[in-house]
Structure 1
Amino acid sequence: MKKQSIAEIKGLLNEDNLTSEEWQMLIDDERKGVQTLLKSYHRKKERERLLIKQFEEMQQYENKAYINGADKIAGVDEVGRGPLAGPVVAAAVILPKDFRLIGLNDSKKLKEDVREAYSSYIKAHAVSYHIAFIDNQVIDTVNIYEATKKAMYEALAGLNPSPDHVLVDAVHLPRLNCSQEAIIKGDASSISIAAASVLAKVARDQFMKELHKEYPGYDFDKNMGYGTKAHLEGLNQFGVTPYHRTSFAPIKEEVQKTFGQR
């Protein structure tokens, strides 16, 4: 085989279909550009290997449930406990047994464009999914923990078919009529919970970006309702919106300043 250009070799590596003879020629090629390409290729392959290993490890809870007789396993997770504004959002999802999305992880660990692409993929391939929003008024009435559970129950109730086993991120849901397992850091340990985490995060982020169009002074499209400097400055300048959680400090103090101590 004649010596090929760097561009041709890059194309061959991208195709990933080299013969053993072609590989040996690349290994023996002393050109710096070729060796750089080989190092880059091997780093990429190692990253892929680790992601595959991670995905397989994140199937452990699902595999155990299948062995124990479960057929429709739902993962459920929430986002938005900590923000000063906006809803808490939970998603529930049942994935097929052969579901495969290498790179799936806790939504907070994924870049925004990756999360959005994964959300679309999960929706397209899920057996069933449902997303539930609990608004700030309910949060202020029942407290954020109870609102979180309410969102999870609603997300699970929206699944069709209903699950026969539920994997939950850290929260126990006593009113479920099927078996469940609460997993600490479940969004980084279970593919079903990770998928729910992605769906919930993307849905809530989209809500906050739309809210920013109505209330642009708080940077909701960037902080998603969390108490950043820009958000607090917006509060100081424009006051409390109907979407702020009045039971949360410093919103509570802002309301008290405006309407007097209650």
Structure 2
Amino acid sequence: MQNKKHFIIGIDEVGRGSLAGPVFVGVAAVSKDGLLAIKNAERKFGKIKDSKKLSPKKRNEWFFFFKKNKDIFFNIKMMNPSLIDKLNISKSANILALRAFKKIVLNKKIGKMDYDVFLDGGLYLGNKKNIFEMNGINKKAKTIIKGDEKIIAIRIASIVAKVLRDSYMIKISKKYKKYNFDVNKGYGTRFHINAIKKYGASDIHRKTFIKNFVK
């Protein structure tokens, strides 16, 4: 009988501190063969790091590498600003983490395999117990402080979420030209804060995040 493949599943979020736009949570699953492929690819792309430590060019190179690799899987979930305001950012991100995780394990190549689940610090699978049921068995995920520095699957999730969220913010910046979302991606740069003070909030600003800037 053939041994089951083992997957490492990593989960990370992007856009937690942004003043505008959605929060994205990425989940990535990588097998031993996928990890070996990444190690070989580092000769071409350079060392894989957390998305914040990579240039946009490098993030995109890794993103397209992940898309093409048959031993790496990923999924993204997002939540809009109005729901973030209603729930708060931590609860929003944790709900997305659970949704994204459930989506990826529905993939037959992963759901029927052995896997371990790791989340970057501050994230939980729905709640701080980190316990989930799969195929009638209770399993426990692990939240790791600075997990993006320790677990490659979390780095993959971070890169995927960052690339897709940045792309989303660049796209919607055409509708909200006053705020330079294509440059700041919704984060609180001086230009962005001054634009909020001058023009007020748009419908994609997080009202609970900008109350100090709006009269």
- TM-score (norm: length of structure 2): 0.80
Hey, what does 2:26 align to over in structure 1? 91
The CA distance in 1 between the partners of 2:157 and 2:19, in whole Å, is 22
For 1:111, the equivalent position in structure 2 comes to 55
Aligned equivalents of 2:77 and 2:171: distance in 1? 17
CA distance in 1, matches of 2:212, 2:144: 35
**Equivalent residues of 2:12, 2:26 under 8 A apart:** yes
Distance 1:80 1:175 in 2: 25
* Structure 1 position 72, deviation (Å): 2.6
Asked if residue 79 in structure 1 is aligned to residue 79 in structure 2, the reply is no
CA distance in 2, matches of 1:175, 1:210: 37
| 1:246 partner amino acid | K
Is 2:97–2:124's contact at 8 Å kept on the other side of the alignment?
no
Q: Determine helix, strand or coil for the equivalent of 2:207.
A: coil
Q: Which residue of 1 aligns with 2:124?
A: 172
User: Could you tell me whether the CA contact under 8 Å between 1:164 and 1:179 is conserved in 2?
Assistant: no
Work out whether residues 240 and 254 of structure 1, in 8 Å CA contact, stay in contact via their aligned partners in 2.
no
Alignment gaps of 5+ in structure 1: 1-68, 258-262
- How far off its partner does 1:252 sit? 2.1
Per-residue deviation, 1:78? 0.5
What's the Cα RMSD here? 1.8
Structure (1 or 2) with the greater helix fraction: 1
Aligned residues: 186
Tell me which protein shows more strand as a share of its residues: 2
Provide the C-alpha distance between the structure 2 equivalents of 1:88 and 1:204, rounded to a whole number of angstroms.
8
Deviation at 1:97, TM superposition (A): 1.0
Q: Distance in 1 between matches of 2:157 and 2:68?
A: 14
CA deviations on 1:62-114 (whole Å, 9 max, x unpaired) are xxxxxxx9823211110111011011101111112122322111110001100
* Superposition deviation, residue 168 in structure 1: 0.7
**The one of 115, 120, 135 aligned to 2:64:** 120
Q: Determine the C-alpha separation between the residues in 1 that align with 2:72 and 2:189.
A: 38
Q: Which has the larger radius of gyration?
A: 1
Q: 1:48-197 residue pairs with structure 2 within 5 A? A: 71-99=6-34, 100-101=37-38, 102=42, 103-125=47-69, 126-159=71-104, 160=107, 161-162=110-111, 164-170=115-121, 171-173=123-125, 174-177=130-133, 178-197=139-158
Q: Percent identity?
A: 35
- Relative to structure 1, the CA distance from residue 210 to residue 204 in structure 2 (aligned partners, 3 Å threshold; closer, same or farther) is same
Question: How far apart in 2 are the matches of 1:111 and 1:253?
Answer: 31
Give the CA deviation at 1:253: 4.2
Match of 2:136 in 1: none
Q: Partner amino acid for 1:134? A: M
Please say if residues 169 and 187 of structure 1, whose CA atoms lie closer than 8 Å, have aligned partners that are also in contact. Answer: yes
Q: Determine the C-alpha separation between the residues in 1 that align with 2:171 and 2:96.
A: 20
Aligned twin of 2:208 = 247
Residue by residue over 1:105-153, the C-alpha shift from the partner in whole angstroms, topping out at 9 and shown as x without a partner, is 1110001100011011112214421101111111101100001101211
Contact 2:66/2:73, CA 8 A, preserved across alignment: no
Q: Structure 1 counterpart of 2:115, which letter?
A: D
Aligned CA distance change for structure 1 residues 185 and 151 (closer, same or farther; 3 Å): same
What's the CA shift for 1:220? 0.8
Give distance in 2, aligned partners of 1:157 and 1:221. 31
For 2:90 and 2:29, locate their aligned partners in 1 and report how far apart those are by CA, in whole Å. Answer: 24
For the residues of structure 1 that align with 2:132 and 2:158, how far apart are their CA atoms? 20
Q: Distance in 2 between matches of 1:153 and 1:118?
A: 24
